A = this chain, B = another copy of it.
Amino acid sequence: MISWNNLDTLESFKELGTVKKVSVKTALGGAGGAERVKKYSVPMACGMSFNYAAKAVDDDVLSALAKLASEAQLADKFAALYNGEVINTGEKRLVLHQLTRGQLGDDVVADGVNKREFYVNQQKRIAEFAAKVHDGTIANGNGEKFTTVVQIGIGGSDLGPRAIYIALENWAKKTGNFKLEARFISNVDPDDAAAVLNGIDVAHSLFVLVSKSGTTLETLTNESFVKDALKKAGLDASKHMIAVTSETSPLAKSSDYLAAFFMDDYIGGRFSSCSAVGGAILSLAFGADVFAKFLEGAAAEDKLAAEKDALKNPAMLDALIGVYERNILGYDCTAVLPYSQALSRFPAHLQQADMESNGKSVNRFGEPVSYKTGPVIFGEPGTNGQHSFYQLLHQGTDIIPLQFIGFKNSQIGTDVDIQGSTSQQKLCANVAAQIVAFACGKDDDNNNKRFEGERPSSIIIGDELTPEAMGALLSHFENKIMFQGFLWNVNSFDQEGVQLGKVLAKKVLAHETDGALKVYSDLFGI
């Protein structure tokens, strides 16, 4: 029987606070450091591993974390989720994004259909459609092949698919899997859509309108913007546009679209990259086979997340260490630092996935919690970050836990040997060096050149950023976020905090304001 309890009511959490704190500096810099790096590592899918040797943990802390995992019933709660219980209690919905990439448990039936079959069927429909676009069966009004695909969506309909497209673009070009150039329109700022449209060949572009509800204001506005542009170019918009939406949305059966592919209410926007939301654009850009491999990687990682032993479950362990850092050690932010230019927008996606899921002050029963929940997430690729904000990470007055990601090999494979090493080797040397620099620091008589160390980090290491690896990475973080939500006892799957701004913006546009809001509106001449 599952019981949902606040973190601070758990005996194992209270116990965790009493376990002796670990000096990363001593642990990693000392005689046992080498052994520790080998030992504190958990295998992930696709040959990757989650290495937490530079985290402020030892066997005692880990054992306390494992107890916490057990008392908080993390594995059972995940099982409840993938077996189709109503985990999104606020909105009274199942949470089924894992089902888009595999089935870990029972058949899940909702709205009268087997949901795994439903998602697989959408993938098949997308694959067939994409193949027709690629072979020219589906073409523009003049029978010419499409060369570009443009996603119109915001938030979860933008950040995840965009990050994954950027992550795999060069891999696809290198491996002969590149089919269509992709672009993204998200912001209601008219300059966003205008700039994208000015930069593409509209006549050979296919637009993917993504809105689950079919009512997202930014997205519908940008759709109109695009339709205007198509009309002005003398093109029939309905021959240039598909929709990704729910079956019940006004877009689902509209003749305005060449086709409509479906998601549903059981997949939140920020968890929708593996649904038709990511599936349509990624299958069009790289082919459905590549998208299928991406899903396979995610499915393999999901399996690992179902493991009951916290110390063998990378996502669960990552989540537990994060909660330890947030609620026992008192650190308020986490930086995600991929040593891979291809992952340049992955931190922005994780920023949404994490902060929108766990940035809550009430538990799943609507009661205020008296502990910190989701941290601020930010990050940029290394080595760029090293020449930017790492100064604060090394010598600032706050300790920021770090989450590194690195790969042994580059995607494109073109490289240059300078001063006895390739760029890829320099990249890898830098991330290895940073882990140790952050953890162990360096003494110096000049305080200004002194590094206190004790900055904890973990690293996910892989061979190469392939579609499978990208899927596994995405799954890892999605599941980490889910487990942290379980620990904090919050509902990670709603987002009531975005509503008030929408309501007030409508009032401004309707000129129904007074007081401060009226003056702010006046300042903008609205």
Contacts and interface: CB of A to CB of B under 8 A. Distances in A.
A86 to B, nearest CB: 15
A367 B386 CA distance: 24
A257 to B, nearest CB: 18
Given A393-B359, A425-B509, A524-B406, A170 B155 contact: no
Interface centre among A154, A384, A491 (most CB of B within 10 A): A384
A37 B501 contact: no
A340 interface: yes
Nearest to A507: B433
Interface centre among A156, A446, A515 (most CB of B within 10 A): A515
B414 A194 contact: yes
A62 interface: no
A152 to B, nearest CB: 13
A521 B432 contact: yes
Contact of A505 (B54, B195, B426, B452): B426
Contact of A519 (B37, B390, B416, B428): B37
A342 interface: yes
Number of copies: 2
A341 B436 CA distance: 38
Contacts of A484: none
Given A189-B423, A408-B524, A501 B391 contact: no
Interface string A160-184: 0000000001100100000000000
A211 B28 CA distance: 35
Interface stretch (A11-19, A347-355, A466-474): A347-355
A448 interface: yes
A525 interface: yes
A110 interface: no
Given A340-B189, A380-B348, A505-B426, A394 B500 contact: yes
A483 interface: no
A461 B524 CA distance: 8
Interface string A421-459: 111111111111111110111100011111110000001
B430 A188 contact: yes
Contacts of A38: 519
B359 A396 contact: yes
Given A217-B426, A423-B221, A526-B432, A516 B29 contact: yes
Contacts of A437: 500-501, 504
A3 to B, nearest CB: 20
Contact of A451 (B220, B269, B398, B500): B500
Interface stretch (A140-148, A247-255, A370-378): A370-378
A389 B351 contact: yes
| Majority SS at the chain A contact face | helix
Interface string A490-512: 01001111111111111111000
Contacts of A429: 505-506, 508-509, 521, 524, 526
B424 A190 contact: yes
Contacts of A369: 397
A410 interface: yes
Given A388-B159, A451-B500, A500-B394, A170 B191 contact: yes
Question: How many interface residues does chain A have, given as a range?
Answer: 35 or more
Nearest to A220: B418
A287 interface: no
A393 B356 CA distance: 9
A433 B441 CA distance: 45
Given A355-B391, A392-B359, A400 B425 contact: no
A380 B192 CA distance: 14
Nearest to A390: B498
A387 B155 contact: yes
A489 interface: no
Contacts of A519: 33-34, 37-38
Given A221-B426, A374-B396, A449 B361 contact: no
A115 interface: no
Nearest to A196: B341
A486 to B, nearest CB: 17
A414 B516 CA distance: 30
Given A155-B384, A391-B495, A436-B517, 10 more contacts: A220-B418, A221-B416, A351-B378, A351-B389, A355-B391, A359-B396, A374-B397, A386-B501, A428-B524, A451-B497
Closest 7 CB pairs of A and B: A359-B392, A155-B387, A433-B504, A33-B516, A359-B396, A352-B388, A428-B524
